[in-house]
C-alpha cells in the first residue's frame, strides 16, 4: 500500500488540519483535529507530484500555514 505521512512540528499548536494535493489539485482534506500526524493512502491516486499543506491553530486561535516539499512515489 502506498502512503505518505505528514507530521507537523510547530513550536506550539492545539489543532491541526491537512490538505493533500496531487499534480496541483486537492484530493483529500482532513479537518482540524488534535494529532499533528496524518497518514494519507495514495494508492490509485497517481504518482504525483504530491504535496501537503498543513494548518496549525495556536492557543490564541491564530492559524499558521505550512507547505511540504513536492513528493513523488517511487
Taking a C-beta distance cutoff of 8 angstroms, is the pair 38, 5 a contact? yes
Regarding beta strands 50-57 and 15-22, do their DSSP bridges make them parallel or antiparallel, or are they unpaired? antiparallel
Q: Per-residue pLDDT for the chain (74 aa), expressed as one digit of tens each?
A: 577 777 777 666 689 999 999 888 899 999 999 888 898 888 887 777 889 999 998 888 888 888 887 776 65
Regarding beta strands 37-41 and 3-7, do their DSSP bridges make them parallel or antiparallel, or are they unpaired? antiparallel
**pTM, 2 dp:** 0.79
For residue 17, the model assigns a pLDDT of: 93
- Residue 41 pairs in a beta bridge with 3
CATH topology of domain 2-71: Immunoglobulin-like (2.60.40)
Amino acid at each position: 500500500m502506498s502512503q505518505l505521512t505528514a507530521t507537523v512540528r510547530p513550536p506550539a499548536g492545539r489543532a491541526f488540519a491537512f490538505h493533500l494535493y496531487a499534480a496541483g489539485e486537492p484530493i483529500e482534506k482532513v479537518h482540524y483535529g488534535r494529532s499533528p500526524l496524518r497518514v494519507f493512502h495514495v494508492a490509485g491516486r497517481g504518482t504525483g507530484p504530491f504535496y501537503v499543506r498543513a494548518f496549525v491553530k495556536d492557543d490564541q486561535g491564530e492559524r499558521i500555514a505550512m507547505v511540504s516539499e513536492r513528493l513523488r512515489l517511487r
